[in-house]
Amino acid sequence: MGFEVKEPKRRVPKPPVSQLTEEQLRAIFMQADINKDGVLSKKELKHAFGRLGALIPAFRAARGLHHADANHDGVVGKDELDSLIKYAYRLGYKVA
C-alpha cells in the first residue's frame, strides 16, 4: 500500500490592485471620445465602461449618462465630465 504525500498548495500572491484615480478615469473617458467632438455619446460611454471592465457596459453607460447629463441633451459634455468621473470613481474600478 503506497500513500502519496502531496505537497501543500502554495498560494501565489496576487499583484497589488489599486483603485483608478480620477485623473486616470478622465483619461480613459477622453480616449473614448472616438469622433473627437468633445462630448461623450452613450455609445462612447459604453466603450469606456467596457475598457474599465464593467460586466454590463451598456447598463453602466446608461447610468453614467443619467448621473452626469445635467442639461438632458443625451451626451456628456466637458462641463458634465466631473459628474461622470465621480460616478465611475464611486464604483471603485481597479487597475491590476
pLDDT at 40: 97
Q: Which of 53, 57, 51, 80 is nearest to 67 (CA)?
A: 80
Tens digits of residue pLDDT in 10-63: 766 555 568 889 999 999 999 999 999 999 999 999 999 999 999 999 999 999
pLDDT at 7: 72
Q: Could you tell me which residues are beta bridge partners of residue 94?
A: 19
**pTM for the full model?**
0.79
Q: Which residues contact 38 (CB under 8 A, 6 or more apart)?
A: 77, 78
